[in-house]
Structure 1
Amino acid sequence: MNVDSMGAAISLCPTSGEEIGRYSYQTASQLDAALTRVQKGFDEWSVIDISVRVTVLLHMADELRKQADAMAIMAANEMGKPVAQGLAEVEKCAALCEWYAEQGPKMLEPEPTLVEDNKAFVAYRPLGAVLAVMPWNFPFWQIMRGAVPIILSGNPYVLKHAPNVMGCAYLLQDAWRQAGVPMGVFEVINVPPACVSKAIEDTRIATVAVTGSVRAGSAIASQAGAALKKCVLELGGSDPFIVLADADIEEAVKAAVVGRFQNTGQVCIAAKRIIIEKSIAKRFEKKFVAAVSALKMGDPLDHTTYIGPMARFDLREELHQQVQASLKQGAKLLLGGNKSTLQGNYYEPTILADVTPEMTSFKEELFGPVASLIVADDAAHALELANNSEFGLSGSLWTADVQKAKYLASRMVTGAVFINGYSASDPRVPIGGVKKSGFGRELSHFGVHEFCNAQTVWMDRR
């Protein structure tokens, strides 16, 4: 883990293994001062006119674009994200700010009800500071997709970022302040995991949001529940990517490559279990292996690199153990399967075939550049395999038959289904999961309303 015994979060470059940043943990008094700033920020920001908040979002979009190069380089150095993908991530954050600046105010307008004579309406009031415990894999987007609607709603956003990307956290904090938010409206706290529970218990924190592992989400949700505070969880995923016999194989292969290997495979909604109908399995397999073999792995600061180093050395070791376990259980190795000989924390792009439900690579989330190919007898069997998981984040379904696709989508137990496309997040639609992938939603109007008090106002009820 990226922490030391002296009380600091450490950034280790996954390419060189060298320490590139050390961020001392806040003391109890420093955390208290930060939460005092947050409370003061809420008192000011929650009553400010919505037009001011919109202007700040537009300024934030400008700031992100100004700092895009620095942010992409920081992400490449701290967690190995290929710089071209880092630039795309920052631009996506800027576009998010602009979308909510345009669409968000309508989401916060009073909502009429069916009460006679328009005497009742629902008002969306800010709840208070949101403590966000966030992961490293999208060090800007994961934060911004929650922070933008939360801040627009009048709530402060308190970020507890992953310890290996604290440089990214402070770049975001600086950008928000340059954009015009008052002190305490976007606040980074740097504390060890044991202190997160103290922040959750603090009355200056109103609600909690977590993106991360099932273990972390379960622990934090338990603490939030004990404090009677709402939480939203987006946790692990082992998303199915179903390819039926009538699908456009060329397009499905292209999508499967991006859906599985972007961000070096370190994506919650990645296409982790690729389920192919038996009659086309060999054709798909051959084309998929060729496409993955062509991906360039190397220096994340090279704009032509697609596969960078994995973010943490311990996670590469865990991934390798999962691959080796699957091979011992009978999976067939088509590509890769080992730590790369490149200097740094690289893992070879790997494809496992003949994967079955009892294998590690089917049952567990593989968070890295490893794809599992699973053969289904027919569409019904593919659906059964897709739902045979403790996770339910998203899924992808490829077929030329739109009616069949809609029928199967209605029976997929996931928070989202993408028909003839790979899973992605977009501000116009909600993201979130079911089962052990969590609960609650981010983005669209859900991202605004999740952290609002839906207050009924009924006038002159006699």
Structure 2
Amino acid sequence: MATNPFTGSVIEQYPALNAEQASERIGDARNAFAQWSNTSIAERAKVLRAVATNMRENKQHLAQLMALEMGKPIKEGEAEVEKAAGCAEHYAEHAHAYLASQTLPSDASHSYICYQPLGTLLGILPWNAPVWLAFRYLVPALMAGNTCVIKHDPNVPASAQAIVDAFMVPGAPANIVVNLPINTPQIEAVIRDPRIVGVSFTGSSVAGRKVAAIAGSEIKPVVLELGGSDPCIVMADADLDKAADIATLSRIINAGQSCIAAKRIIVEASVYEDFTERLRQRLAKLTLGDPLQRETDIGPLARADLRDNLASQVTQTLDAGARCVFQSEVPAGDGFFYPVTLLADVSPDMCAFREETFGPVMVVTAAENIDQALQLANDTDYGLGAAIWSSNADYIQRAINELQAGQVAVNGIVKTDSRLPSGGIKGSGIGRELGPQGIREFVNAKQVWIK
């Protein structure tokens, strides 16, 4: 069932596949593998470029679907489609180099590594960036010669089908990407299906552990992109206005429903109150409203339970002694809105510091110096992204070396980029997506030795 989070009303009922139907869909993708894996990288690239064109031609439709199904503001949805199309074009151009055989010296006359596709993969995808996260999984896997099954989140059924439809372009064999709308209890059987050779999962750490355990018991490779509680360190010598601009942008994209958002703002004590006020001023200017309207900066959260959980986290944090610096008004009606909220004086024992907050809630904590800032930043079970704002070269190098995260941004925003690998450590995941590393996650790195 798809529900419009702006109105709270049901959009449409979408029946799930039964076990027999799901098996047939997996078979379709598996049967497409022989032809697709035997096409050249140049031929695959032509298909992916056609997919990118198709995406741009249907950008408005896809953005509207995301706005209706999960509340993403239309202007953000259009940017997401552009980013996905760019991903297809990037791998169309660079996959040949990323997958080129590598000669290695040995006692052979010639020894090298070649990268060959594994087969049919399963992607289990979340609702918060329906198009981008699907393409981040699909494009590298397809360019490597695999075929793909997508089990998208039930919040975004029409978006899921539109993504699959985007691959129905001239030159593309049928069923290189298939949609698998099934219920959660059916996922284990799909992972265990012998025709599925690897799993890519994006979602919560709790669910990721379950997926990893099942895949591991079947000796199947997994890539896990899980939650995050990303720190953003702001030192006194930073460009404070720029840092405030970017920290605000990072936190409120997609109504704060992003794993790599700046969730814990750690500010050097000498500028702590000043910087907190800069954040308040920026948050106060944001417009909450209908995601289909271009003036809207922040839409509703995707579901009522997500809003209620976030409200509970904020309440627990305030009860523990945090200070609410700002909280916006929310639109009238039945939408799943949560007010833009700025919490200050948040200590490491408080809920909003310890847990991932998935919504427009910004948390600010003071640090006496770079040593304490780094200690606070690493005081988390997560390790997805991290950022530091400073003009001090020593501070910057220490942050690069010491921050426990899969990616570190210096004087900029933590983001995903088709050209660069993305992923986490600790409770934030296993493996990498994107860049040359991402395309090699689901391949056989075959060693060849020739006398």
TM-score bracket relative to the smaller structure: over 0.9
Kindly provide the amino acid, as one letter, of the partner of residue 184 in structure 2.
P
Question: Contact 1:253 / 1:284 at 8 angstroms: preserved in 2?
Answer: yes
Aligned to 2:419: 428
After superposition, the C-alpha distances for 1:112-147 in whole angstroms (9 at most, x for unaligned) are 112267601101000111111110000000010111
- Unpaired runs of at least 5, structure 1: 1-9
Between 367-376 and 43-52, the greater mean CA deviation after superposition? 43-52
Question: Contact 1:38 / 1:204 at 8 angstroms: preserved in 2?
Answer: no
In 2: Cα distance, 1:179 partner to 1:320 partner: 48
After superposition, the C-alpha distances for 1:274-325 in whole angstroms (9 at most, x for unaligned) are 0000000111011110100001111100112110011111100000000001
After superposition, the C-alpha distances for 1:80-101 in whole angstroms (9 at most, x for unaligned) are 0000000000001111111111
Equivalence map 1:38-117=2 (5 Å): 38-115=29-106
TM-superposed deviation, 1:447: 1.2
Aligned to 1:407: 398
- Corresponding residue SS for 1:178: coil
Question: Contact 2:125 / 2:202 at 8 angstroms: preserved in 1?
Answer: yes
After superposition, the C-alpha distances for 1:16-71 in whole angstroms (9 at most, x for unaligned) are 11111221111222111111111111111111111110000100110000010000
Match of 1:21 among 4, 12, 37: 12
Equivalence map 1:254-403=2 (5 Å): 254-336=245-327, 341-403=332-394
Aligned to 1:7: none
Kindly provide the amino acid, as one letter, of the partner of residue 157 in structure 1.
C
In 2: Cα distance, 1:152 partner to 1:179 partner: 16
- Corresponding residue SS for 1:246: coil
Match of 1:156 among 147, 159, 162: 147
Question: Contact 1:340 / 1:347 at 8 angstroms: preserved in 2?
Answer: no
Equivalence map 1:189-268=2 (5 Å): 189-268=180-259
Aligned to 1:129: 120
Kindly provide the amino acid, as one letter, of the partner of residue 32 in structure 1.
S
Kindly provide the amino acid, as one letter, of the partner of residue 13 in structure 1.
N
In 2: Cα distance, 1:307 partner to 1:124 partner: 43
Kindly provide the amino acid, as one letter, of the partner of residue 271 in structure 2.
I
Residues 238 and 114 from structure 1, CA distance in 2 versus in 1: closer, same or farther, beyond 3 angstroms? same
How many residue pairs align between the two structures? 451
TM-superposed deviation, 1:183: 2.3
TM-superposed deviation, 1:404: 2.2
- Corresponding residue SS for 1:131: strand
In 1: Cα distance, 2:252 partner to 2:109 partner: 52
Residues 100 and 120 from structure 1, CA distance in 2 versus in 1: closer, same or farther, beyond 3 angstroms? same
In 1: Cα distance, 2:398 partner to 2:337 partner: 41
Kindly provide the amino acid, as one letter, of the partner of residue 234 in structure 1.
E
Question: Contact 2:46 / 2:92 at 8 angstroms: preserved in 1?
Answer: yes
Kindly provide the amino acid, as one letter, of the partner of residue 297 in structure 1.
L
Question: Contact 1:238 / 1:392 at 8 angstroms: preserved in 2?
Answer: yes
- Corresponding residue SS for 2:63: helix
TM-score, normalised to structure 1's length? 0.96
In 1: Cα distance, 2:172 partner to 2:12 partner: 26
Residues 234 and 179 from structure 1, CA distance in 2 versus in 1: closer, same or farther, beyond 3 angstroms? farther
After superposition, the C-alpha distances for 1:250-287 in whole angstroms (9 at most, x for unaligned) are 00000011010111000000000000000001110111
Residues 73 and 364 from structure 1, CA distance in 2 versus in 1: closer, same or farther, beyond 3 angstroms? same
TM-superposed deviation, 1:423: 0.7
After superposition, the C-alpha distances for 1:207-244 in whole angstroms (9 at most, x for unaligned) are 00100001110111111011111111010100000000
Residues 117 and 223 from structure 1, CA distance in 2 versus in 1: closer, same or farther, beyond 3 angstroms? closer
In 1: Cα distance, 2:42 partner to 2:429 partner: 33
Question: Contact 2:4 / 2:69 at 8 angstroms: preserved in 1?
Answer: yes
In 2: Cα distance, 1:39 partner to 1:117 partner: 36
In 2: Cα distance, 1:339 partner to 1:250 partner: 27
TM-superposed deviation, 1:339: 6.2
TM-superposed deviation, 1:443: 0.3
Kindly provide the amino acid, as one letter, of the partner of residue 429 in structure 1.
L
Aligned to 2:176: 185
Residues 268 and 180 from structure 1, CA distance in 2 versus in 1: closer, same or farther, beyond 3 angstroms? farther
In 1: Cα distance, 2:309 partner to 2:331 partner: 15
TM-superposed deviation, 1:342: 4.7
In 1: Cα distance, 2:196 partner to 2:108 partner: 38
TM-superposed deviation, 1:437: 0.4
RMSD: 1.2
Percent identical: 39
- Unpaired runs of at least 5, structure 2: none
Match of 2:135 among 144, 148, 170: 144
In 2: Cα distance, 1:341 partner to 1:331 partner: 27
In 2: Cα distance, 1:194 partner to 1:180 partner: 36
Question: Contact 2:51 / 2:88 at 8 angstroms: preserved in 1?
Answer: yes
Kindly provide the amino acid, as one letter, of the partner of residue 253 in structure 1.
A
Residues 50 and 234 from structure 1, CA distance in 2 versus in 1: closer, same or farther, beyond 3 angstroms? same
Question: Contact 1:337 / 1:351 at 8 angstroms: preserved in 2?
Answer: no
In 2: Cα distance, 1:357 partner to 1:401 partner: 26
After superposition, the C-alpha distances for 1:136-182 in whole angstroms (9 at most, x for unaligned) are 00000001011101000000111000000011110011111135432
Question: Contact 1:21 / 1:167 at 8 angstroms: preserved in 2?
Answer: no
In 2: Cα distance, 1:118 partner to 1:396 partner: 47
